[in-house]
Structure 1
Amino acid sequence: MIFARDLVGQIATALAVDGLILRGGFRFTDGEAAPTGPSGASAKSALLVGQAGAAPWPYFQRWLEQQARDIANPLDTWSREVIGSVAQGCDARAVSPSDRPYLPFQQWAMRAEGLKPSPLGVLMHPQYGLWHAYRGALLFEDEISFPEPHAAIHLCDICVEKPCLKSCPVDAYSGQGFAHEACLDHVRGSRGEPCRVGGCLDRNACPYGTSYRYPPEVQAFHMAAFARL
């Protein structure tokens, strides 16, 4: 078993150059259907890579300015390049949440950080609130020792008012799940400008992690990608 202090520190330093952070890790259990590592053998350990707030945005923007204007899925492409480069330097395989077939990134994230979903589906973080993301993972064929995630208070359990379920003009989030088509129709329609310009109103209504809230231009970028505007 490899003890991860030096390895994790080196990887964290390499990711920080582009505003990314490590989001915890875990070991696959015996008999688990794990994805493959860099040589094609089953992975034994995973490190999740992501962001807190909009820290990667300026690095991504500088990269984007140097690319063809019609590049598809630019944020995914940038994330793959950055995380893939780090993977090459630490004998790991880089994978992305948008890879097909889809990998269970949300389950991995809950496993690595001990988080739970908010009513909006985004995992609630005790520090970042809803303003964080997972951009990829590094898969290793060695068993790496990680500390157990701390049991965090699930902030949604102590939130009485639930403003995240009261701010959407079309009630896109409810106990019945996410009304995808209703959300898209509204965002694309004549009354959807507040969402297009400033992001999801329900997400912005959450009282937690507000110091990490994405700036309007970042939220507008993500909303345009979601709605294919």
Structure 2
Amino acid sequence: MKHFRAIIVEDERLPRLSLLRKLKTYHPDIEVVDCCETYEAALTAILRHRPDILFLDIQLQGHTSLELLRELKEAISLPHIIFTTAYSNSEYLLQAIRFAAADYLLKPVDVSDLSKAIRRIEERSAATLSPATQPPAQSGKFPFRTLNGTLYAGKDEVIYVRASGNYSQVMLPEGEEIVLERLGVIESKLGERHFVRAGRNLLLNSDLIYKIDRKHKCCILRTPAGREYSVELSAGGLEAVEKR
């Protein structure tokens, strides 16, 4: 098992000590090289130690960990990130996804959830070191990285994809999935022949296009089961779909 070095960034003493104790008790292979309670101390410690894992509280006094990550990103490659927070707000989750966080844990941190988050980091680390060990696509399905693991989907299942920075929202018949990959990467996996770029941030399954509504600037996609999806398009997107 790989030895990881970690830093805890938490401005409240009791949650900080609680997480430190759980790591020492249940994950002795993780070396906590520093514990920080302020933005400034965290920035200095992270640049100095270059840890493998960051345990970051979303809210710091006068700052947020997201601000800290933006500043760090300009200087170093970000380590694995596990956010810890007392908030279950979906906006925090989306911001965590944008930084490809390994997990998002609510305080007080549950030991089982902590173990799952660390296991995901171990899997990511192993996959990075040995790409050949990643499961190959089977039955026409392709792997897509998600916050909690891997999604396997085929080109016939993907209805459309809408990108937002470092992550994408993939619409499937079962519902929407958040994928931690850029639109170009998803497009290369699915194949340009089956999908059309309807603007910079939108990918449509060309086999499912049913109707183009110029008046309302949208495209209707229909699945083989008869379910319809209306997707708003820009003027350039309309033109791209009509030329497909």
TM score, norm. by length of structure 2: 0.23
Greater Rg by CA: 2
TM score, norm. by length of structure 1: 0.24
Structure with the higher fraction of residues in strand conformation: 2
